[in-house]
Homo-oligomer: A and B are copies of this chain.
Amino acid sequence: MKWISVDAMGGDVGPEVTVQPCVDFLHEHEHIGIVLTGQEDLIRAQFGERASSVLNRLRIHPTTETVSMDELPSSALRYKKDSSMRVALNLLKAKEVQATVSAGNTGALMAISKYVLKTVPGISRPAILTRMPNLAGGVTRVLDLGANVDSSPEQLVQFAVMGSIVAQTVGEIERPRVSLLNVGQEEIKGNIQIKKAAELLAGLDTINYIGFVEGDGWFSGETDVVACDGLVGNIALKAVEGISSLIMQRLVGSFKRNVFSQASGLLAKPVLKKFKETTDPRSYNGATLVGLNGVVIKSHGSADQFAFKNALNEANLEIEKQVPEQIAAHIGHLMPCDGN
C-alpha cells in the first residue's frame, strides 16, 4: 500500500479542482491511498457520492493555513508552518506518504520542499523537470524550468545527469540522448556557464551527452533530455504557452469567420477535438521537482480536473520507479565529484 499527500488548497481554484481527481484516481488504483491536506469542510464538500466507496483510502489531514499563489516563497517558508502545502511535505518527510502533489505557488513549493526534504547528496539545488511532446512522437524531458537562475556549470551538469536518470527509469529509454540548451550548435556559442558545462559533460562517459541543441530541440525529437538554466527554461516555456494560445485562438477564429467556414468547422469539429487532444498540454501536466529526497509533483496552477489527475498519475509512476532513490544511487557513479 502506497500513499500520496495532496495539497488540496493549492492552485488557482483549490478543492473544487483537486479533490474529485483524487476520488477518481483511487477508483482506478486499488493499492494507493491519498491524504488531502487543507481546510476540512471545504475538502469534504467536494467528496461527492463516488467517494463513499474509497473512504478507507481517502483521508483528510486538516490544516489552518494556505500559501497563496502570489506569496513570497521566503515568507511562506517562514510563517506558514501549518499550511496545506507544508503539511503535505511534512507527511512525505515522515514517510507517511511516498509522494506529494501540489498545484500551489511554485516558488514556495520549491523552497519548502528543499527545506523539509533536503536534496539528494551530490545535488546542490533541485530542478523543475517536465515532458514535452516531440515531432518523433515521443517526449523530451526538459529541466530546469524555473527553480534556479544563474545556474553554475556544475548545476547544469547535475540537471543533465538527473534528466538522464529520469528518462532512463521513468521514460524507459536505455541510453537517453542528453543535450545542453544553447543559441547555436557550434562549440564557440553561448555564455561561459554553458560552455564550461559542455566541457564537463563531454568528460563524463557514463551519460550519453550529444552536445548543444537550440530552442526547437525541445520539440524536434533529436534529444531525450535538455538541460538549461531555470531563467531561460521558464521564459521559453511561457513563450511556448503563449504562441500555443495564439495559434488555438486563430484556428478557432478561422472556423467561425463566415458561414462556409462555420459549416466546414462543424464537420471538422471531431477532428479538431482529436487534434487538441494530441497537443493538449493538460496531458503533460505534472512537473517533477527532481533532486529532492522524495517525489514531489507540481501541477500547473490553472490545471483543471483532467490535468490534475495526470499529475497524480505522474506521482504514482515516480513512486513505482523510485526516482529519488535512483538519483541517489546513480549520482555518485555518474558524476566525477559532488559538484558543489
A337: Cβ under 8 A from any B Cβ: no
A329: Cβ under 8 A from any B Cβ: no
Closest to A235 in B: B215
Contact with B along A273-286 (1 / 0, CB 8 A): 01100110000000
Segment touching B, from A5-13, A43-51, A81-89, A216-224 = A216-224
A246: Cβ under 8 A from any B Cβ: yes
Segment touching B, from A14-22, A117-125, A258-266 = A258-266
The complex places the Cα of A244 from the Cα of B245 at a distance, in Å, of 11
CB proximity to B under 8 Å, residues A241-269: 241-247, 249-251, 253-255, 257, 260-261, 263-265, 267-268
Among B220, B232, B246, B261, which residue has its beta carbon within 8 angstroms of that of A135?
Answer: B246
Shortest Cβ distance from A212 into chain B, in angstroms?
Answer: 11
The complex places the Cα of A264 from the Cα of B267 at a distance, in Å, of 5
The complex places the Cα of A188 from the Cα of B146 at a distance, in Å, of 14
- Cβ contact within 8 Å between A219 and B235: no
The complex places the Cα of A242 from the Cα of B278 at a distance, in Å, of 16
The complex places the Cα of A260 from the Cα of B270 at a distance, in Å, of 10
A55: Cβ under 8 A from any B Cβ: no
A181: Cβ under 8 A from any B Cβ: yes
Q: Give the contact-size bracket for chain A.
A: 35 or more
Closest to A150 in B: B191
The complex places the Cα of A240 from the Cα of B239 at a distance, in Å, of 7
- Cβ contact within 8 Å between A239 and B264: no
A42: Cβ under 8 A from any B Cβ: no
A272: Cβ under 8 A from any B Cβ: yes
- Cβ contact within 8 Å between B237 and A215: yes
A317: Cβ under 8 A from any B Cβ: no
Additional A-B contacts beyond A150-B192, A246-B279, A264-B267 (16; CB < 8 A): A70-B186, A150-B191, A215-B236, A216-B245, A217-B242, A218-B243, A219-B239, A231-B232, A237-B239, A239-B240, A254-B272, A254-B275, A260-B270, A264-B268, A264-B271, A267-B267
List 6 A-B pairs, Cβ < 8 Å. Answer: A107-B184, A181-B235, A219-B243, A236-B236, A250-B279, A254-B275
**A-B interface, 5 closest residue pairs, ranked by CB to CB distance from nearest:** A215-B238, A216-B242, A215-B239, A254-B275, A219-B242
